[in-house]
């Protein structure tokens, strides 16, 4: 990691390093901007600065509106993570969390959030912003991705495995539904 990137990660805390959770060797590492405003700016304005400079605001706006659900989904994942961390600090979870992260592989089999106490509990969470109803295909995909995780990490066969969906709910903000 070069000195500028290190400063953005360690000193300014603007970027986070994301590696697959519970990996012994880290082959997939991503860098993510933490701040939603900066994320929006670099994703939509800076990436299309020519349109902005030309005054093509309608074209720029259409591009933003087309891609915005994807941006919202990532922001929702961060919200769910923050809510779980807050509950952990307050002692409101079934067990204290010692590790939390995401799980993905080179084939884009992703689990949005995984947290564990590294002893006997592990929870796999799929975040759904528009999840009034979770389909059987979505349930099967989560179970498939968890199976791939354990195929690669057979030593992590935990006693208490929980699979759930984090669903946006206007009343509770985030509602959890177990598989």
Backbone angles phi, psi at 30, to 5 degrees: -120, 155
Which runs of consecutive H residues, i.e. helices, occur in the chain?
3-10, 36-40, 49-54, 57-90, 136-152
User: Is the pLDDT confidence value at 100 over 70?
Assistant: yes
Q: Which residue has the tokens 């935990």?
A: 158
Give the pLDDT confidence score for residue 170 in this predicted structure.
Answer: 66
Instruction: Report the side by side order of strands in the sheet with 173-178.
Output: 99-104, 110-116, 121-128, 160-169, 173-178
Nearest of 89, 118, 134 to residue 126 by alpha carbon: 134
What gap in Å lies between CA 8 and CA 31, rounded to an integer? Answer: 10
Q: What is the pTM of this model?
A: 0.84
Q: Which domains does the chain have, with CATH numbers?
A: 3-178 (3.40.1350.10)
Quote the CA–CA distance of 137 and 124 in Å, as a whole number.
16
The per-residue pLDDT of the chain, averaged, comes to 88
Mean pLDDT for 109-120 is: 89
Q: In the prediction, which pLDDT does 97 show?
A: 95
Q: Please give the torsion angle defined by the CA atoms of residues 4, 9, 14 and 15, in that order, rounded to the nearest 10 degrees.
A: 100
- Judged against a pLDDT cut of 90, whether residue 71 lies above it is answered with yes
If we measure between CA atoms, which residue out of 118, 136, 131 comes closest to residue 165?
131
3-state secondary structure of 73: helix
- The predicted pLDDT at position 156 comes to 76
Task: Give the pLDDT band (50/70/90) at residue 129.
Answer: confident
Q: How far is CA 48 from CA 6, 44, 62, 122, in A?
A: 27, 6, 12, 41
**Nearest to 100, CA basis, from 109, 108, 90, 87:** 87
Average pLDDT over residues 68-89: 92
What residues contact 135, with CB distance under 8 A and at least 6 apart? Answer: none
């Amino acid at each position: 990691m070069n000195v500028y990137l290190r400063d953005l990660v360690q000193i300014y805390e603007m970027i986070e390093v994301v590696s697959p959770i519970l990996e012994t060797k880290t082959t997939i590492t991503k860098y993510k901007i933490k701040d939603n405003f900066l994320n929006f700016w670099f994703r939509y304005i800076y990436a299309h600065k020519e349109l902005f400079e030309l005054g093509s605001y309608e074209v720029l706006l259409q591009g933003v509106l087309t891609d915005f659900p994807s941006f919202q989904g990532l922001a929702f994942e961060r919200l769910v993570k923050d809510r779980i961390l807050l509950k952990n600090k307050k002692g409101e979870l079934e067990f204290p969390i010692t590790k939390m992260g995401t799980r993905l592989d080179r084939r884009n089999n992703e689990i949005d959030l995984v947290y564990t106490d590294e002893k006997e509990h592990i929870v796999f969470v799929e975040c759904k912003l528009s999840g009034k109803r979770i389909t059987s295909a979505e349930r099967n995909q989560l179970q498939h991705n968890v199976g791939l995780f354990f195929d690669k990490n057979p030593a992590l066969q935990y006693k208490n495995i929980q699979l759930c969906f984090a669903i946006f709910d206007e009343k509770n903000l985030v509602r959890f539904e177990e598989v």
